[in-house]
Structure 1
Amino acid sequence: MKTLLTFIASFLFVFAPITLHAETTNDKYEGIEITVNINTAGVEELAELLQGIGPAKAKDIVEYREKNGDFQSADELTAIKGIGSATVSNNRDRIQL
C-alpha cells in the first residue's frame, strides 16, 4: 500500500504542474472585459491581450503604426502580413482606437 501511495504522490508531483500551467490567456482573463488601444499599446501588451497575436506579430503592429501613423479602424490590421480578417474578428471587442 505504501508503494502505491508513493507512486501516486510521485505521479502528481511530476504531472500536476504541467496540468496547472495549461492556463491560456483566454482562461486567465475569463469574465473580465479586455480592451487594448492598438494605437498606443506596446509589444508586450498587444501580445498578451490580443488572441492569436504573439510577440512577433505584436512587434509588426507597432512597426506598422510607427511607419504609417495611427490605425483608423481595426480592419487596417489586415495590412500586416500574417494578420487576417479572422484574427481581427476574434479581437474586435478587445480593440480600441
Structure 2
Amino acid sequence: MLKTFIATLLALFTAIAFAAVDINKATQAELEAVKGIGPAAATKILAERQKGTFKDWGDVMQRVGGIKEAKAARLSEAGLTVNGAPFQADKLAKKEDKKAKK
C-alpha cells in the first residue's frame, strides 16, 4: 500500500515537472524553469512578447535572438510550447517551402 502511494506521488510530481509552459502566457519564473532558458533569454522573450504574441515557432525563431531550429527543438522537448503547440521541424520546413514558391 505504501509503495503504491509513493509511486503514485512520484508519477504526479513527474507529470507536473514536465507540464507544458506556453511562451505567450508564461511569467519570467516559468520561462526560467524550462531547461535551456536562463534569465537573459527569458527577458528577451518577454520583451518581444510585449510587442505582440508569438504566432508560431517560426515567429519565435525570427524575433528572439539565439533561438533557431536546434534550440527550439530542445526547448520544446523541455516543455515549451507556442500557443500550446510543440516545435515540429517538418511543419516549419513545409511552411518555408510555400513561402519560397510564392
TM over 0.5: yes
Number of equivalences: 66
CA distance in 1, matches of 2:30, 2:19: 11
Moved over 3 A (4+): none
- Identity rate, percent: 30
CA drift at 1:92: 2.5
Q: Choose the corresponding residue for 1:81, options 65, 73, 87.
A: 65
SS of 2:33 mapped into structure 1: helix
Mapping of 1:4-15 within 5 angstroms?
none
Tell me the C-alpha RMSD between the 2 structures: 1.9
1:42-69 Cα deviation digits (max 9, x unpaired) = 11110112x31111101100100101x1
Unaligned runs of 5+ in 2: 1-12, 84-102
Q: Choose the corresponding residue for 1:54, options 38, 61, 69.
A: 38
TM-score w.r.t. length of structure 2:
0.56
Bigger radius of gyration: 1
CA drift at 1:91: 2.4
CA distance in 2, matches of 1:44, 1:84: 22
CA distance in 2, matches of 1:53, 1:75: 18
TM-score w.r.t. length of structure 1:
0.58
